[in-house]
Amino acid sequence: MSNTAPLDAHLAQVLERIGEVARALRWKQAVEEGLSPLQIRIMGFLADHADEGIGVARLAGELMVSKATISDSVKLLADRKFVVRKPDKSDARSHALHLTAAGKRHISSGTPLDVAIAELGQERKEALLLGLMGVLELLFRTDALNVQRLCFTCTHYRGDRKKEHGCALFDTDLRVAELRTDCGEHVVSWPSMP
């Protein structure tokens, strides 16, 4: 066993704890506001993909829930005026879902986890993001996860995964905060392990 094993196990334990805490806080927030955790996830996804004309089918695929379940949740969100349906610009026969002003306010309220993250200094936030993106990349490359649309697994990524980052598609350097973890232009790359 390597001498970093205790640290590795400790980190894995902390990550697991953070996941549990995030789920518990989302659940508490949902219950307090009379929403389901799925409805919170739907609004979060719509907020992150505001320009993409997201419909029920895409939500079902992304959130791995049936279309019927998504439709029921969306109907309740529409009843509460958190989302509206508008004709999809790219296909007049279908509708895209959009957050209303009330829905956007709701999403921006965040949980104590968001508040705690905001308190970290810039350096620690950037180190955390790079480390976690590295973990996601390795999980993907060892077949433990499906494709993750993050810069580190993208054919357009140019950089060293540490200090230098850029995107060949957008022809630009990227600051750490600009690295994507769910990019619509992502094209998977299959290089050898970094």
**Interface with ligand SF4 (CB under 6 A):** 151, 154, 156-157, 167, 169-170, 180, 183, 185-186
Minimum distance, C-beta of residue 54 to ligand SF4, in the bound complex (Å) = 18
Residue closer to ligand SF4, measured from CB, 43 or 54: 54
Looking only at the bridges linking them, the beta strands covering 165-167 and 157-159 are: antiparallel
The 10 Å Cβ neighbour count of residue 161 is 15
Minimum distance, C-beta of residue 124 to ligand SF4, in the bound complex (Å) = 23
The rounded distance, in Å, linking the Cα atoms of 83 and 73 is 11
Which amino acid makes up residue 32?
A: E
Residue closer to ligand SF4, measured from CB, 106 or 186: 186
Minimum distance, C-beta of residue 30 to ligand SF4, in the bound complex (Å) = 30
Q: CB neighbours of 53 closer than 8 A, spacing ≥ 6?
A: 88, 89, 90, 91, 96
Minimum distance, C-beta of residue 183 to ligand SF4, in the bound complex (Å) = 3
Which amino acid makes up residue 29?
A: Q
Query: How many CA atoms does the CB half-sphere of 2 hold within 13 Å?
Result: 5
Residue closer to ligand SF4, measured from CB, 16 or 185: 185
Residue closer to ligand SF4, measured from CB, 20 or 173: 173
